[in-house]
Structure 1
Amino acid sequence: MGVFTYESEITCSATPARIFKAYVLDGDNLVPKVSPQAVKQVEILEGDGGPGTIKKVTFGEGSKFKYVKHKVEAIDKENLSHSYSIIGGDALEGNQLEKITYESKFVASADGGCIIKTVSKYCTIGDAQIKEEEAKEGKEQATQMFKLIDSYLKENPDTYN
Structure 2
Amino acid sequence: MKHQIGGHDESNFSYSYDLIEGGPLGDKLERISYENKFEAAAGGGSICKSSMKFYTVGDNVITEDEIKALIKGSEGVYKPVEAYLLANPEACN
3-state DSSP of counterpart to 1:159 = helix
What CA distance in whole angstroms lies between the structure 2 residues aligned with 1:134 and 1:128? 12
Q: Distance in 2 between matches of 1:123 and 1:114?
A: 29
Residue 100 (str. 1) matches residue 25 (str. 2): no
Correspondence 1:64-143 to 2 at 5 A:
68-94=1-27, 96-143=28-75
TM-score by length of 2: 0.84
| Cα distance between partner residues in 1 of 2:86 and 2:55 | 36
Counterpart CA distance in 1 for 2:23 and 2:89 is 37
Equivalent residue of 2:89, what SS? Answer: coil
Report the AA paired with residue 41 of structure 2. Answer: S
- 2:77 maps to amino acid: M
Q: Do the aligned partners of 2:24 and 2:70 also contact (CA within 8 Å) in 1?
A: no
TM-score when normalising by structure 1: 0.52
Q: Which amino acid aligns with 2:88?
A: N
Q: What is the CA distance between 1:90 and its match in structure 2? A: 5.0
Task: Give the unaligned 5+ runs of structure 2.
Answer: none
Higher RCO (C-alpha 8 Å, min separation 6): 1
Aligned-partner residue type, residue 134 of structure 1: E
Give the Cα separation in 1 of the matches to 2:45 and 2:71.
Answer: 19
Alignment identity in percent? Answer: 40
Q: CA deviation at 1:92?
A: 2.7
For residues 19-69 of structure 1, the C-alpha deviation after alignment (integer angstroms, 9 at most, x for no partner) is xxxxxxxxxxxxxxxxxxxxxxxxxxxxxxxxxxxxxxxxxxxxxxxxx11
| Structure with higher helix content | 2
Q: 2:86 is matched with which residue: 154, 157, 161?
A: 154
Root-mean-square deviation (CA, aligned residues, Å) is: 1.7
